[in-house]
Structure 1
Amino acid sequence: MNRSLGFPLVTVLSLVAVAFFALGYYFSRGEAADPLQWHEEYEVSLWQPLREQQLLLGDVSRVLGPGQLWMISAEGEPALVSRYRLETDGQSWRAQATVQLAAERMDSLVAAQDWQPDMYDQPLSNEVAQALKDYPIIRMSMQPAEPIDVNQVQSSFGNPDMRLEIAGGETWIYQASGAVVAVSDEEAHSVMFGLR
C-alpha cells in the first residue's frame, strides 16, 4: 500500500471507530428525563410527614387545595380516601390520600352511608371531611392521566431497591422514600407512598 494513501485511510477508520464508540456510549447510558416536579415540590409538606406518620387529612388539603372525600371498596372492605386533582409535569394527576379510621368510627360511617362492598365509590359531604381533618393519612398515591416513561421515575427516585414481578408488569420498591411504583411496558402507572 502506498504510504500517502495509508495515512488518510487510517485516519478515516479511526474516526469511524471513535464515532461507533460514541454512539454506543450514548445509547448505553439511556435517555435522560426530567424528574417529576411534584416529587420534589411536596417532599417537605407531604412525603416526609407521611414517612414520619405525622401527615393529617387537613394537611393534605392545605397543600393540594380542596379535595373530595370518598368511601370506597378496597378488596371488599370499606376505605376512606380523599381525592385531589392537579396539573403538573405536563398532564393531569389524581392524588389520593387514604384516611386511617378506628374500627368503631368506620363501622359508624358504614352504617350511616348504608355502604355495601359491591357499591360504587360514594362521595361524602364536606362536613364529614371537616370533621375528619385531624385524622392521620396512612397512604398516598399519585396517578397520571397518561402513563409516564420509567426514565422520569428513575430521574426522581433513582434505581429501585427491589423489582417484583407481578401479573402484567412489575412493582418497583424504594425503601428509603417508602414508595412503590406500578410499571409495565417501560411505563409507570402510579406511585404510592406509605410503604412501611
Structure 2
Amino acid sequence: MNKIPLKAQHLLVFVAVAVLFFAWGAWLMRSGEVHPLANLQQWRDTLLQPLAEDELTLREVQALAPGELWLAPRLDGARLFYRASLDGEEGGWLLEAELRLSLEQRDGLMAAQGLQAGGTELALGQSLVDQMAGFSIVSLNLRAPQALVSDRLAASLGQPRLTLELAEGQAWVYPQWGLTVHLQGDEVQLLHAVPRKAFRATR
C-alpha cells in the first residue's frame, strides 16, 4: 500500500487548519452582525409614517393591534387612550395611542361616564372603540421590551439626526417621523411619536 509522502501530509494538515480558521472567522463575522427588527420596520410604515403626516386614525391602529379605550380624567383635562400589546420578535411591546378630542367631546365623555377630574382611569366598551374608529391619533407611545439594544433599533430606523443628553439617559431624534427614542444606557426604553407639524412646533 502506497503511503502519502511526509511533505504532502504536512500540506494536507496546513490546508485543513486554514479551512477551519477561515470558517471560524466567517462565523464570528456573521455572529457580530446587527440584524434590524422586522416588526419595527413594519410599524414605521404602518404607524410612524402616517402619524408623521397626521393621517393615522384609530381604525389603522386597531387593525394592527386589538386593544381597549381608556378614559383618563386628569386634572389638566380628560384624555382618551387606546392601549394594546404588540408582539415583536424580541418580546412584547406596549402601545398607547392618544385620540384627538375637542373640549366638548372630552367633557361629554366625562359626563357620560360620571367621572370627576383627577379620578381613576376607566376602560370603555368595545362599541365605543368601533364608533370612534375614524378619530385621529395625536400621539403614540411604544414601550420596548427589556434588553432591546439600541444597535438593533439603529439598524431598523437608521442613525438619528440628533442626539440629546438627558438627566437620565439619552434621546435619539428622528424629525422625519416626529419620533423621539428614549434610551437608558444601551437599551431602548420608549418610542414617542407625534405628527411632524406638532413636533416642529415644540422644538
Query: Which stretch shifts more, 174-183 or 156-165?
Result: 156-165
Match of residue 7 from structure 1? none
Take 1:72 and 1:146, find their aligned partners in 2: how far apart are those partners?
Answer: 26
Take 2:171 and 2:73, find their aligned partners in 1: how far apart are those partners?
Answer: 22
CA drift of 1:177 comes to 2.2
Match of residue 192 from structure 2? 192
Match of residue 123 from structure 1? 123
User: CA 1:139/1:147 → structure 2, altered by over 3 Å: closer, same or farther?
Assistant: farther
CA drift of 1:113 comes to 2.5
* SS of aligned partner of 2:34: coil
Q: Aligned runs of 1:87-166 on 2, under 5 Å?
A: 87-166=87-166
Would you say the 8 A contact 2:85–2:94 is kept in 1?
A: yes
Take 1:120 and 1:40, find their aligned partners in 2: how far apart are those partners?
Answer: 36
Match of residue 58 from structure 2? 57
Match of residue 80 from structure 2? 80
* SS of aligned partner of 1:55: coil
Match of residue 39 from structure 1? 40
Which TM-score applies when normalising by structure 1? 0.75
Would you say the 8 A contact 2:141–2:193 is kept in 1?
A: yes
Report the number of matched residues: 166
Query: Which stretch shifts more, 42-51 or 186-195?
Result: 42-51
Match of residue 9 from structure 2? none
* SS of aligned partner of 2:119: coil
User: CA 1:132/1:143 → structure 2, altered by over 3 Å: closer, same or farther?
Assistant: same
CA drift of 1:134 comes to 0.8
Take 2:184 and 2:98, find their aligned partners in 1: how far apart are those partners?
Answer: 24
* SS of aligned partner of 1:60: helix
Take 1:45 and 1:74, find their aligned partners in 2: how far apart are those partners?
Answer: 30
Would you say the 8 A contact 1:70–1:82 is kept in 2?
A: yes
Give CA-to-partner distance per residue, 1:58-88, whole Å, 9 cap, x none.
1211222x21111236684421111111211
Letter of the aligned partner of 1:79 in structure 2?
Answer: R
Letter of the aligned partner of 2:51 in structure 1?
Answer: L
* SS of aligned partner of 1:148: coil
Would you say the 8 A contact 2:73–2:115 is kept in 1?
A: no
Would you say the 8 A contact 2:78–2:117 is kept in 1?
A: yes
Unaligned runs of 5+ in 2: 1-27
Which TM-score applies when normalising by structure 2? 0.73
* SS of aligned partner of 1:182: strand
Would you say the 8 A contact 2:144–2:191 is kept in 1?
A: no
Whose Rg is larger?
2
Q: Percent identity?
A: 25
CA drift of 1:37 comes to 2.0
Take 1:43 and 1:86, find their aligned partners in 2: how far apart are those partners?
Answer: 14
Question: How large is the RMSD of aligned CA atoms in angstroms?
Answer: 2.2
